[in-house]
Amino acid sequence: MNVKIIVRGKAKGTVLCAENPVNFLGGIDKTTGRIRDEHHDLFDKFVGDKILVFPKGIGSSVGAYTIYSLKYNKCAPLAMVCLNADITTASGCAISNIPLVVAQKKDYESLKDGQEITVDAIEGKIL
Amino acid sequence: MELTKEEESALAGKHGETLALAYRVLVAIGEATGADKLIPVEWAHLSGVNYNTIGDAGEKFLSHLSEDAKFKIKTTVNPMGFDSDSVSKFELDEEFIKKQQSIRQSYEKMGAIPSFSCIPYEIFELPKKGTQVSFAESNAAIYANSISTLKTNKESAFSALASALTGKSIYSDLRDDESRKPNLTIRMKTKQKDELAYGLLGYFAGKKAGSSVSISGVKELDRRSCKSLCAGMGTSGSCGMFTFGEEEKGEKIDFDDKEMKNVKDELNTAESGDVITLGSPQLGLEEISDLTTKLKGRSFRKRCMIFCPRAIQGQVRNLGYDKELSRAGAEVLYDCCICLTPLIDKENVDSVITNSVKGAYYLRTSNGVDVNLKNLDQIIQEETK
């Protein structure tokens, strides 16, 4: 599928799909990558070394630093796929060199938990 | 996105690694929001100051950045983790204090005004109507767009930092008049009309809305309720502004007693608490004055922490509010706020009483303590004698 490139790069890995938007600051433990918001559908799951597929980032602007901390603490997603890229997620990925793409709705919905994919944010494709 | 030759060469690293990094951020957020160009901004307000929020990674990043970076425009900063005057009274470890001081020094070295406040709209003189600014603190961005007649996107810590370093931001989303028009109206229909109801309304609206939302059924909003609305909205979603009134077009959703109960049940996890906290957003002079009046002849039965910006400290002293609050058993803390405060620790505190919806969210998700949400009048009625 063709995707819009927000932050360039390339990564291959397993999809972790979130139904709910992600508030990086309150919602993810920056030292372990564990989702700690108990109201979130990915509660208690780890985002590290996954391709994180989620609708958009929400909440605190400091969430951008959480993304950077995840990378620094080696528990960041390999790449992210969003339905709507927000400023917090885009800027956090840009500083942290995490590939970020936006997929169209029907393509986005076809991505399934556990699927192996390659996010090519240089050519603008998911394989 | 179209960049000028100057911007292209900065992006390519011809003016140093710092500017290249800043332009990479601007290009990424430009792509994300469909911007076609960069525009000048006059003021950046940065988040990412409290060591609890940015950690070792953030501290090192800023320390490295400050070796050669300088802010190009007026730059103010969010609260840090503690008030240096009273930090010795809390059992904070030396490492935290050292790292927090390093963050403070890095921002000051780059030229930030050491405001340590989440209410820049209340403590600084505002530029003229329609001025483009870059506010990362979410309650401040929403307040600036909705009340202060400024224009900003709901910036992130890094996008506002990029603005501070370049004096620019992207022309898209809420910076563009076309995108500021709400396509959703929330009708305020609750019986309860206080800062807690407005905070919960904000949290509800933030979840439903896109970039902007219209709110109907509100006649007059005092400063406390208005700040609470902005903070609640900034916590739950990506919405960056509201207008009052009902849009002719677009979806309309009622916020009634039932909806309010649902939101409150999500955030209120305790029947009472060990500590009372007031000040997310920080209280300005007007609210401190009002609080002092409400506390006349009363004193707190429990520890009460009140968070304020340093900018009002002189007036709080001169007008005698600090003495009156201290008599009532409250502690006034400057430069810090409720959100992710290291001063409240789940080892020592089980649950916290607050009227802040934003505070409730972060106390629960980040500090791991339970929260009892009630309005200020109820707090004073139930927790003072």
Q: What is the DSSP letter of B365?
A: I
Strands A79-82 and A100-102: parallel
Per-residue confidence band for B327, with pLDDT thresholds at 50, 70 and 90: very high
**Tokens at residue B376, please?**
């200020």
**Degrees, nearest 5: CA angle B25-A67-B113:** 60
Nearest to B362 by CA among B348, B374, B344: B344
Per-residue confidence band for B348, with pLDDT thresholds at 50, 70 and 90: confident
- Does B58 contact A93 at a Cβ distance shorter than 8 Å? no
Strand partners, B251: B184
Is A60 part of the annotated catalytic residue set?
yes
How far apart (Å, rounded) are the C-alpha atoms in residues B77 and B310? 12
- Does A56 contact B137 at a Cβ distance shorter than 8 Å? no
Domain of residue A62, residue span: 4-126
User: Is B122 strand, coil or helix?
Assistant: helix
ipTM above 0.90, yes or no: yes
* pLDDT reported for residue B211: 93
- Does A91 contact B28 at a Cβ distance shorter than 8 Å? yes
- Does A89 contact B32 at a Cβ distance shorter than 8 Å? yes
**Degrees, nearest 5: CA angle B257-B361-B287:** 80
* pLDDT reported for residue B247: 85
CB B279 within 8 A of CB B116: no
Q: How much is the mean pLDDT over chain B?
A: 96
* pLDDT reported for residue B330: 98
The per-residue pLDDT for range B35-74, each reduced to its tens digit, is: 999 999 999 999 999 999 999 999 999 999 999 999 999 9
- Number of A/B CB contacts below 8 angstroms equals 138
Kindly name the residue from A60, A61, A91, A110 that is annotated as catalytic. Answer: A60
- Does B29 contact A91 at a Cβ distance shorter than 8 Å? yes
How far apart (Å, rounded) are the C-alpha atoms in residues B115 and B97? 18
What are the backbone angles phi and psi of residue B124, rounded to the nearest 5°? -115, 155
Of A30, A36, A87, the CB nearest to B33: A87
Q: Does B258 score more than 90 pLDDT?
A: yes
Contacts of A93 in chain B (CB under 8 A): 28
Shortest Cα distance, chain B CAs vs residue A116, angstroms: 25
What are the backbone angles phi and psi of residue B94, rounded to the nearest 5°? -55, -40
DSSP H or E run through B186: strand B184-188
Q: Does B249 score more than 90 pLDDT?
A: no
Q: Does B363 score more than 90 pLDDT?
A: yes
A100 in contact with B, Cβ within 8 Å: yes
* pLDDT reported for residue A60: 86
The per-residue pLDDT for range B278-320, each reduced to its tens digit, is: 999 999 999 999 999 999 999 999 999 999 999 999 999 999 9
B128 in contact with A, Cβ within 8 Å: no
Q: How much is the mean pLDDT over chain A?
A: 96
A73 in contact with B, Cβ within 8 Å: yes
Looking at chain B, the whole-number percentage of residues with pLDDT higher than 70 is 100
Domains of chain B from N-terminus onward: 5-177 (3.30.499.10), 181-265 (no CATH), 268-383 (3.30.499.10)
How far apart (Å, rounded) are the C-alpha atoms in residues B383 and B300? 6
The CATH number of residue A58's host domain is 3.50.30.10
Q: Does B220 score more than 90 pLDDT?
A: no
The per-residue pLDDT for range A23-73, each reduced to its tens digit, is: 998 899 999 999 998 889 999 999 999 999 999 999 889 999 999 999 999
* pLDDT reported for residue B215: 97
Neighbours of B208 (CB within 10 A): 15
Nearest to B263 by CA among B190, B184, B212, B211: B190
**Domains contained in chain A, number:** 1
